[in-house]
Structure 1
Amino acid sequence: MDNAIRLERPVKAKRLNRHFITRNIGLIFSYAFLISMVIVIVYPILVTLMSAFNVSNSLYSTSFFPENFSLTENFVQLFTETPYLSWYRNTFLVSVITMVLSTFIVTISGFVYSRYRYQSRKSALISLLIIQIIPSGSGLIALYAIANSIGIYSSSNATLYTYIFMILIYTTGGITMNTILMKGYYDSIPRALDESAKIDGATQMQIFKEILLPLVKPMIMVIAIFCFLGPIGDIIMPKFLIASMNSEAKTLAVGLMGLINNIKESSYNVFAAGAVLAAIPPVIVFYKFQDYIVGGLTSGGVKG
């Protein structure tokens, strides 16, 4: 009898373990996936951060922590041997102007698509979706041909005109998807507010300015952040359009890439120092406005 009880206990334990695994297998895979993604994302960041304080000219070493630690040497070299401040200025000037123009246009266009009913409205929305499907890189050759045909590169102010051209491209390129997001957010606001204001004698402009605009502020912040961060991380179009210009005319991403392009003369740790400094503004923006980002995107997806 005692032997039967002893045999029965391991069988019950095995059954409970199998039941626990089968019941929580989805949760186990979810945690495993999340942990693996954290490792994939965080490890390169830590390697770059450690390399920024390592004096030896290599992104890889036998030790994870800097073998020749220096708090300032790579950063001093970055500012003295490269026009890093010029790259920073160029990039953030483009980002700020793009953010202002895109946000202004998208706020108005989203309002028009949401609140007005006209004959070609549906066709215009479909056109926006089709434009969004086309890869942005497919038009690089055409953009270069346009810039060359209107005399940007042959003018005396080639750098200024090229940056104006880039700002226009960034502004128009972000309008399509952002307009759809903004329209969805406007659609989530009840039309009863518009009707009540019209009964009280408010004009369409007053409704937009005094009622709707304060309510769509979270989505305006989201779009402004996206438009600001877009040019900072872009390397394809600036490299394509300003490749032949002098070093001070480059953007941040193109300038940093130039530090590691040549294998024999690469400055990997100086590159890491520049990458760390370049990441500070986006991190601050996401940290300060993360509530707007989450709230704006989730509320904008309520109605399409």
Structure 2
Amino acid sequence: MNQQDPNWERRLVEKLASAALVEQRRTRQWKTFFRLMWLTLAALAVAAMWSSSDGDKSGIGLGSAHTALIDLNGVIGGENDVADKLVKGMEAAYRSGSARGIVIRANSPGGSPVVSGMAYDEIRRLKKQHPTIPVIVAVEEVCASGCYYIAAAADKIYADKASVIGSIGVLSGGFGFTGAMEKLGVERRLMTAGADKAMGDPFSPENPRHEAIRRSLIDDIHRQFVAAVKLGRGTRLKNDPELFSGRIWLGDQGVALGLVDGLGSVRSVARDVLKAEKLVDYTPQDDLTSRFARRFGVSLSDGLRELFATRLL
């Protein structure tokens, strides 16, 4: 800058001001860019969550022949509304008017005998109302215990040769801490109104009367389970003494025992059995808030409950 110019200071200030304005515009542009980028990523994430779980519903209501798909996933209990979701999914498939059959894609180790029994009863009720629409279970990794209880209500069951099935039995577990309490010098002071109110208390010694009641309960649940499987599978079941022992089997072994009707997958059942290769997913979905919570681990408490809960199936 030529300092002999009488206006050099003003021109310097103008240049500095101009440079500051340019820098401010660039800063705003970058802020806008990053905001748009984050909004785009958030939109893509939400879209991915919807698309990954909603499945293909393009055939609903359009008169296109298809196979209705309903998922049965995870531990069966009241928290995940398995019975309610199965019923809602099946009812939606029947309403479509173009579903040639319903395939329940099973991948569950079992769970609550109550919820399993409810789902079993609901499937049989809906089958009676819609006798021309077959209901088929296609097992992926595992369909054991309470899951097989539900599957027995279907018209047919298919599985992969390495799928885990069966486990037609009941368990009720717990812990006893009386020995540890004695070593620590801890005294249990429990007061009850009712002779059997403290049944199963892990801090009290075993009570023969309570153990007999507990044994009677799980035996009754086992009888209910066995009766449901026999009713659902009928004469297809082979006379094997280990069939209802609680043992698990592989898919190809299940075929020989009558627990499974054949080897196959969701797609092969839709293509070869139902003759409707197009799949439409009718699995009811949770709301977006619940989905976010589950994906980010808010349901950790549910997992801890499952870890310490007494399992009956």
TM-score (norm 1): 0.33
Greater helix proportion: 1
TM-score (norm 2): 0.32
Larger radius of gyration: 2
Instruction: Report which structure shows greater RCO (CA 8 Å, sep ≥6).
Output: 1
